[in-house]
Structure 1
Amino acid sequence: MSSILTGERLTNRRLVIIAAMAGTFLSALDSSIVGPAMPTIIGQLGGLSLYSWVFSAYLLTSTTTVPLYGRLSDMYGRKPLFVVSAALFVLGSALCGIAQSMEQLVAFRAIQGLGAGGIVPVTFTILGDLFSVEERAKMAGLFSAVWGASAVAGPTLGGLIVQVIDWRWIFYLNLPFGIVSVTLMWRSLHETRTGERSRIDYLGAILLTAGITAFLFALLEIGEGASWLGPRTGGMIVLSAFLVAAFIYHENHFPSPMMPMGMFRSPIMAVVTSAGTLIGGVMFGISSFVPLYIQGVLGGTPIDAGLTIAPFSIGWSAASVVSGQIITRAGYRLSVVAGTLSAVAGSVSLLLVSPDTGRWPAAVGSGLVGIGMGLSSTAMLIAVQNSVGWGQRGVATALVQFSRTIGGAIGVAVLGTLLTAQLTSRLSGMDGSMQGANALLDAKVRASLTPDILHQLTTALSSSLHIVFMTMLGLAVVAAVITVLFFPRGSVEELQGADGGMGADRARKADDAEATMPSGAQTRPTSR
């Protein structure tokens, strides 16, 4: 049995891995299963103008809580934070399943996001605690493969559930996996708290959440036709800037900040978070807007939409495994740069999709972006983890996740605002333009449209989505430029932090030995 001694109780690594895999499966499934179902949900509940908010509300709460989960896991241990986050995710999933309106669904997705914010960063922090540098690359590849496998199943399974059963079951499906994950983690992971107990940065979390929320509401107003300089919109933008500035000031002066600003002075952290923010917009743009094109423009089914974005997850899964090999042989930079360039190529492919070409350019583009995410995200995460010590690994891991999800939250909101504005402009001569666009997503209503009206609606939606895809390409290009020019060169050892966990790594050289030695209260997980 593979186990380590944490504190005075034996941790079963295999059961912890299973629990962590179940949690990863939860998050991955949700990220891929909702997108293909959304056009059907819009067709039943209405509210196309709130389309992007189903994603943005989830990403907002999951993003702003990521650094807080990281800090709390350093202070109180990984297990309680994993259990709390998974339980919140399960609660939010159950509520989403009973939503009766788009407004309710948006609110319940926000609750679901509160839990999602902790699952992935705490999971990868646990892996960082239990495994050596060499093993982390393999485990990161394994978990990325699990993510990819579940994300591959998600779109197809989601489409099948929507067509055969009911869209609500895409949320109910999370419940059994969440229960298994919480139970196994609670019973199998034993740890001694190693971080110093300090004040929790609640004010920082409030300032950041309020600042981002104000900006997202401004985008919603703009998407509905308001001017950037209008009193309400301009006021919210000014308020957002003030709150974010207050957050930065607070973090620089608070003794135990949720987001230590000093970490951004590290070249690795600076590049990873800036490029990760941009690439996050591309990543979530794939799952949010490609299904809308397949169903709204091409008239495909939810299964068609799921199959089109499935290559994204397949590419991510396969490339993550390859990334682990690249890291051990050539260092981080090659994997990171190749990944961002692949995302650029995938974004270009999205621009080629049209009613004439069908969905294949979108499928190829999704696959290339997925390969890019697999190559870049795995290397970025391990590079950051190995550049800091054990006591900062939780918050450092959280910041990597934070950058990608904040990019997704803001990116999807911006892209959604752009889509709404473009649609409104292109359908300005049609009464009830947004209601007309909703008709494209309800199979029965779509079938009743005259050929002229159908052509007008699909052309407007296609042109609007191409503007969205072009914006995604711009994000990918800037991310690639950042990594090519600024990601540090050097081997894994050369980029290792002064206390990047090497002491713990040496202690794990005999990691799989059956015997263990008494340790008493320890400051970090050890094994022999």
Structure 2
Amino acid sequence: MKHRIWVMVSIILAILTASLDTTIVNTTMPTITRELGGMSLYAWSFASYMIASTVLSPIAGRLSDMFGRKRVYGAGIVIFLLGSLLCGTANTMLQLVLYRVVQGAGAGFMMPFPAIIAGDLFSVAQRGRIQAFFTSMWGISAIIAPLLGSLFVTYTSWRWIFYVNVPVCLICLLTLLPYKEVYQPKPAKVDWFGALLFALGVSMLLAVTVSESGRWLLGLGGVLFLAAFFLFERKHASPIVPLQLFRNRPVAGMITVTFLSCAAMFGASTYVPLFLQHSGYSLFLSGVALLGMSAGWMAVAVPAGKWILKYGYRPLLLIGNATLVVSGVWFWFVKGTLGFWYAFAGMTVQGLAFGMLFTVCMIGAQQLVAPDQKGLSSSMQMFARNIGTAVGVTLMGMFVSEHGDDAQTVLSGMHSLFTYGLIGSLVALASVLLVTAVRDPEEERQAV
């Protein structure tokens, strides 16, 4: 029992560290850019981290199936610690971008493991409560990160937003040591070439979202590398991403649902604060409105595990996606400025939707596969979430920016943004038909 408590401390601190780092960097990057120069690399300071963490999360999940959770998760903590140290020493924006790749690689190896390890240690009924607790860490970071960022910049240096990760990572490692591995790994030869093809393909496609030139070339290169990856993996004895996972219809359906839902509306949380600021609200209040999403998320994530046992996966996914459509309609009716409480209520509805969808899909990803594929399946859910969010944020940004940057045209662009979100949420609702209807998770796992 004690080893379970210690590993929970480790993964909770890892979530809090990664979420705080992301939010603090978002807050302080303008200050960092002014000191280091290199405004042309501003977007890449975020994109380099996002690409590395997104690409490596499914690879980390697969490696944990082969070599155990503890070793791969511990390696991720060490890489994140090293990346944080390097970022704190950066003297140019180019250095910072490169060091953020290292830090993002560490995050990619760390972030799948809260869900994976919780899947090893807790029952279906308990897992919803655990997932809700993990989500609360992101809500906490959203509140305290801007304050910490301003304190570091004002009284010390922006470099401490990275250095502060070092002692926390050390605590994560120390609390991980007593953990006794529950899952018995299934060793196999590592498919390094397949991992390289996958990383190059996905990285190029994600780079399209931030690159200002050569987008078609990057996109074409990404498609070609992924096509080569697909052909190579079909013949490999131990592929880094076993393609038979996608022959599991319920799991493949949930991956599709997660991707389409995130592409439709998850990016809205990036633009609602902008909408509120152009409607006359302060930076603080525009951020507080997002707490509605955390509240809604936790309200449904806690009992979701018990609901799965009672009702099955498909009904809950239908309810979650229908709720997402409601949030799309809610924001679509806004034609002018956006009120604070209207935004707060809309984000709460959206939190109810994503809390249901993400919790149900993550539990399904773990219950509906063999034990030696649980790590990969869980991390593929996170991968679908990250890719969908990247696509959604990019498309929403295009709708906003094409109207100009003054207050009136931004408000006009927001209506186009939510029109896209509403249509996308309807498509995501239709995608639930891909998920087969089976009530008992254990019965479903044995069937597939």
TM-score, structure 1 as length reference: 0.74
Contact 2:194 2:239 in 1 (8 A): yes
State the partner residue of 2:324: 343
- Cα 1:171–1:342, aligned 2, differ >3 Å: closer, same or farther? farther
Contact 1:47 1:102 in 2 (8 A): yes
Give the structure with higher Rg (CA). 1
SS in 2 for 1:199: coil
1:307 & 1:402 partners in 2: Cα distance? Answer: 27
Q: Does 1:488 align with 2:436?
A: yes
Contact 1:351 1:470 in 2 (8 A): yes
- Indicate the larger mover: 19-28 or 63-72: 19-28
Q: For each residue in 1:104-150, what CA deviation from the matched residue of structure 2 results, as whole angstroms up to 9, or x when unmatched?
A: 5544443332122222322322222233xxx2331x22332223322
- Cα 1:74–1:362, aligned 2, differ >3 Å: closer, same or farther? same
- Cα 1:118–1:497, aligned 2, differ >3 Å: closer, same or farther? same
- Indicate the larger mover: 204-213 or 275-284: 275-284
Following TM superposition, by how much is the alpha carbon of 1:66 offset from its aligned partner in structure 2, in angstroms?
Answer: 1.5
Q: For each residue in 1:384-417, what CA deviation from the matched residue of structure 2 results, as whole angstroms up to 9, or x when unmatched?
A: 2111121121112121222111222333344445
2:165 & 2:254 partners in 1: Cα distance? Answer: 31
Q: Does 1:26 align with 2:26?
A: no
Following TM superposition, by how much is the alpha carbon of 1:254 offset from its aligned partner in structure 2, in angstroms?
Answer: 1.5
- Cα 1:405–1:234, aligned 2, differ >3 Å: closer, same or farther? closer
Following TM superposition, by how much is the alpha carbon of 1:282 offset from its aligned partner in structure 2, in angstroms?
Answer: 4.7
- Cα 1:82–1:248, aligned 2, differ >3 Å: closer, same or farther? same
State the partner residue of 1:429: none
Q: Does 1:475 align with 2:424?
A: yes
Identity of aligned residues (%): 31
1:147 & 1:44 partners in 2: Cα distance? Answer: 35
State the partner residue of 1:268: 250
- Cα 1:357–1:190, aligned 2, differ >3 Å: closer, same or farther? closer
More helix by share: 2
Pick from 133, 139, 142: which aligns with 2:129?
Answer: 142
- Size of the aligned set, in residue pairs, is 444
Aligned-residue Cα RMSD (Å) equals 3.2
State the partner residue of 1:289: 271
Q: Does 1:82 align with 2:73?
A: yes
State the partner residue of 2:310: 329
Q: Match for 1:364: what amino acid?
A: A
SS in 2 for 1:252: helix
Q: Match for 1:92: what amino acid?
A: G
Q: Match for 1:209: what amino acid?
A: A
Following TM superposition, by how much is the alpha carbon of 1:274 offset from its aligned partner in structure 2, in angstroms?
Answer: 0.9
- Cα 1:179–1:141, aligned 2, differ >3 Å: closer, same or farther? farther
- Cα 1:356–1:288, aligned 2, differ >3 Å: closer, same or farther? closer
Q: Does 1:180 align with 2:171?
A: yes
Following TM superposition, by how much is the alpha carbon of 1:73 offset from its aligned partner in structure 2, in angstroms?
Answer: 0.7
SS in 1 for 2:49: helix
Superposed, which structure 2 residues align to 1:96-495 within 5 Å? Answer: 96=87, 105-131=96-122, 135-138=123-126, 140-166=127-153, 168=158, 171-185=162-176, 187-191=177-181, 194-221=184-211, 224=212, 232-282=214-264, 284-295=266-277, 297-298=278-279, 300-352=281-333, 356-420=337-401, 422=402, 426=404, 457-483=406-432, 485-493=433-441, 495=443
1:300 & 1:163 partners in 2: Cα distance? Answer: 20
Following TM superposition, by how much is the alpha carbon of 1:95 offset from its aligned partner in structure 2, in angstroms?
Answer: 4.5
- Cα 1:62–1:219, aligned 2, differ >3 Å: closer, same or farther? closer
1:71 & 1:406 partners in 2: Cα distance? Answer: 18
Contact 2:66 2:187 in 1 (8 A): yes
2:366 & 2:209 partners in 1: Cα distance? Answer: 34
Q: Match for 1:141: what amino acid?
A: G
2:145 & 2:301 partners in 1: Cα distance? Answer: 24
State the partner residue of 1:506: none
1:354 & 1:103 partners in 2: Cα distance? Answer: 41
1:48 & 1:475 partners in 2: Cα distance? Answer: 33
- Indicate the larger mover: 324-333 or 190-199: 190-199
- Cα 1:481–1:193, aligned 2, differ >3 Å: closer, same or farther? closer
Q: Match for 1:136: what amino acid?
A: V
Q: Match for 1:213: what amino acid?
A: S
Contact 2:265 2:392 in 1 (8 A): no
**Unaligned 5+ runs, structure 1:** 4-11, 227-231, 427-436, 438-456, 501-528
Following TM superposition, by how much is the alpha carbon of 1:265 offset from its aligned partner in structure 2, in angstroms?
Answer: 1.1
2:289 & 2:27 partners in 1: Cα distance? Answer: 9
- Cα 1:65–1:493, aligned 2, differ >3 Å: closer, same or farther? closer
- Indicate the larger mover: 76-85 or 460-469: 460-469
- Cα 1:44–1:281, aligned 2, differ >3 Å: closer, same or farther? farther
- Cα 1:107–1:264, aligned 2, differ >3 Å: closer, same or farther? same
2:92 & 2:273 partners in 1: Cα distance? Answer: 21
- Cα 1:79–1:207, aligned 2, differ >3 Å: closer, same or farther? same
1:45 & 1:464 partners in 2: Cα distance? Answer: 33
Following TM superposition, by how much is the alpha carbon of 1:305 offset from its aligned partner in structure 2, in angstroms?
Answer: 3.1
Following TM superposition, by how much is the alpha carbon of 1:49 offset from its aligned partner in structure 2, in angstroms?
Answer: 7.7
SS in 2 for 1:403: helix
- Cα 1:490–1:216, aligned 2, differ >3 Å: closer, same or farther? closer
TM-score, structure 2 as length reference: 0.86
State the partner residue of 2:445: 497
SS in 2 for 1:166: helix
- Indicate the larger mover: 407-416 or 336-345: 407-416
- Cα 1:381–1:198, aligned 2, differ >3 Å: closer, same or farther? same
Q: For each residue in 1:265-319, what CA deviation from the matched residue of structure 2 results, as whole angstroms up to 9, or x when unmatched?
A: 1111111111111223356513433333344x24544422321212222222222
SS in 1 for 2:423: helix
Superposed, which structure 2 residues align to 1:38-77 within 5 Å? Answer: 53-77=44-68
Contact 1:218 1:236 in 2 (8 A): yes
SS in 2 for 1:490: coil
Contact 1:35 1:288 in 2 (8 A): no
1:353 & 1:324 partners in 2: Cα distance? Answer: 35
1:301 & 1:103 partners in 2: Cα distance? Answer: 33
- Cα 1:493–1:39, aligned 2, differ >3 Å: closer, same or farther? same
- Cα 1:324–1:193, aligned 2, differ >3 Å: closer, same or farther? closer
1:182 & 1:118 partners in 2: Cα distance? Answer: 14
**Unaligned 5+ runs, structure 2:** none
